[in-house]
């Protein structure tokens, strides 16, 4: 599948047209940003690691009955996906307190919730992705009631599948962000699932194995992405 013109360049990926109007290529860059683009950098090898990780996790979800945009990995840093119209809501699922939740509600990091929290944020960089409730989403006609309840239900199912998987490789799934898109008459899981969009803590030590190493200048950033690629996907062939 040949890359056509770039349709969109975001902070971490470029979306390319293909010769099939229903498909696009998602190219994963080494560029990294944090705090809504205020902190910028490059993490050498991140594109390759996130392509491998995201492809493997989308395959795992598909096998478990989650409808996704994933078709196949087509190179070290490119994924072929169905072209969707992204629903401008970011769903965040949280199992353990950290990040913006601790700041917003004044709680300490590391509280393990009895049941997961699902939050919705308006995907709008200019507004700094504000938190929204269901009424905002319905009143502003961002999604229909059945779409919203469907996305939340799928988000919780994904949480159960990913928690079991990460547990099996010695990692706690702390929280993660999902994006969904409209494709024909269905809603598919889109975008990526990677250490850029999840918080992953090593069991026992709570060592951070995700983009917080970059956000918080914790060091070993490149080697952590490679370590996660290896833990999730296995050794390179
Ligand atoms: P951002 O826009 O936040 O800077 P990225 O750099 O990750 O994000 O850019 C990828 C963009 O492509 C995102 O806006 C994402 O919503 C969008 N996207 C993800 N999957 C698909 C898809 N299957 N079809 C069309 N757009 C997609
Ligand atoms: N997240 C993301 N993109 C965003 C905001 C959050 O992928 O634009 C992910 C983030 O990596 C974490 C989870 O969503 O796994 C919850 O993030 P939080 O709201 O705590 O964000 P922070 O403000 O701390 O980045």
Is residue 100 predicted with pLDDT exceeding 80? yes
Helix (H, G, I), strand (E, B) or coil at 17: strand
57 CA → ligand 1 middle, Å: 17
Of the listed ligands, the closest to the CA of 197 is 2
Nearest to 25 by CA among 77, 60, 85: 77
Q: Residue 237: its pLDDT value, please?
A: 55
Q: Residue 1: its pLDDT value, please?
A: 81
Q: What number is the average pLDDT over the span 25-31?
A: 98
Ligand 2 binding residues, C-beta < 6 A: 90, 92, 99-101, 129, 175-177, 197-199, 211
Q: Residue 158: its pLDDT value, please?
A: 98
Instruction: Tell me the average pLDDT of the chain.
Output: 97
Task: Report whether 130 contacts 67 (CB < 8 A).
Answer: no
What does the pLDDT look like over 175-199, one tens digit per residue?
Answer: 999 999 999 999 999 999 999 999 9
Q: Cα–Cα distance between 45 and 31 in angstroms, integer?
A: 10
Nearest Cα residue to atom 5 of ligand 1: 10
Q: Residue 236: its pLDDT value, please?
A: 67
177 CA → ligand 2 middle, Å: 6
Is residue 31 predicted with pLDDT exceeding 70? yes
What does the pLDDT look like over 130-155, one tens digit per residue?
Answer: 999 999 999 999 999 999 999 999 99
Nearest Cα residue to atom 11 of ligand 2: 197
94 CA → ligand 2 middle, Å: 10
Q: Residue 178: its pLDDT value, please?
A: 98
Partners of 202 in the beta sheet? 171
Domain 85-219 has CATH 3.30.470.20: yes
Is residue 26 predicted with pLDDT exceeding 90? yes
What does the pLDDT look like over 34-88, one tens digit per residue?
Answer: 998 899 999 999 999 999 999 999 999 999 999 999 999 999 999 999 999 999 9
Q: What number is the average pLDDT over the span 160-166?
A: 98
75 CA → ligand 2 middle, Å: 27
Q: Cα–Cα distance between 185 and 81 in angstroms, integer?
A: 17
Q: How far is CA 151 from the centre of its chain?
A: 14
- Work out the end-to-end distance of the chain between its first and last CA atoms, rounded to an integer number of angstroms: 22
Is residue 23 predicted with pLDDT exceeding 80? yes
Q: Cα–Cα distance between 226 and 29 in angstroms, integer?
A: 15
Domains in the chain: boundaries: 6-82, 85-219
Q: Residue 199: its pLDDT value, please?
A: 98
The lowest-confidence range among 35-39, 169-173, 210-214, 225-229 is 35-39
Ligand 1 binding residues, C-beta < 6 A: 8, 10-13, 15, 24, 26, 69, 81-84, 86, 179, 181, 190-191
Domain 6-82 has CATH 3.30.200.20: yes
Task: Report whether 99 contacts 175 (CB < 8 A).
Answer: yes
Q: Which atom of ligand 1 is nearest to the CA of 86?
A: 16
Task: Report whether 171 contacts 202 (CB < 8 A).
Answer: yes
Q: Cα–Cα distance between 185 and 140 in angstroms, integer?
A: 21
């Amino acid at each position: 599948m040949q890359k056509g013109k770039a349709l969109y360049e975001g902070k971490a990926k470029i979306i390319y047209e293909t010769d099939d109007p229903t498909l696009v290529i998602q190219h994963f860059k080494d560029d990294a940003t944090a705090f809504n683009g205020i902190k910028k950098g490059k993490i050498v090898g991140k594109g390759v690691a996130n392509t491998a990780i995201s492809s493997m996790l989308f395959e795992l979800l598909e096998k478990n009955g989650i409808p996704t945009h994933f078709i196949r990995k087509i190179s070290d840093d490119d994924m072929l996906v169905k072209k969707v119209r992204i629903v401008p809501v970011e769903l965040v699922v949280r199992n353990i307190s950290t990040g913006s939740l601790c700041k917003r509600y004044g709680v300490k990091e590391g509280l393990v919730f009895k049941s997961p929290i699902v939050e919705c944020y308006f995907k709008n960089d200019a507004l700094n992705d504000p938190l929204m409730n269901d009424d905002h989403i319905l009143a502003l006609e961002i999604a229909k009631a059945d779409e919203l309840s469907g996305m939340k239900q799928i988000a919780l199912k994904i949480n159960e599948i990913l928690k079991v998987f990460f547990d099996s490789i010695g990692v706690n799934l702390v929280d993660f962000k999902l994006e969904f898109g409209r494709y024909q008459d269905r809603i598919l899981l889109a975008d990526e699932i990677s250490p850029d969009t999840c918080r992953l803590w090593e069991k026992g030590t709570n060592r951070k194995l995700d983009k917080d190493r970059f956000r918080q200048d914790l060091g070993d950033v490149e080697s952590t992405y490679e370590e996660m690629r290896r833990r999730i996907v296995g050794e390179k062939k």
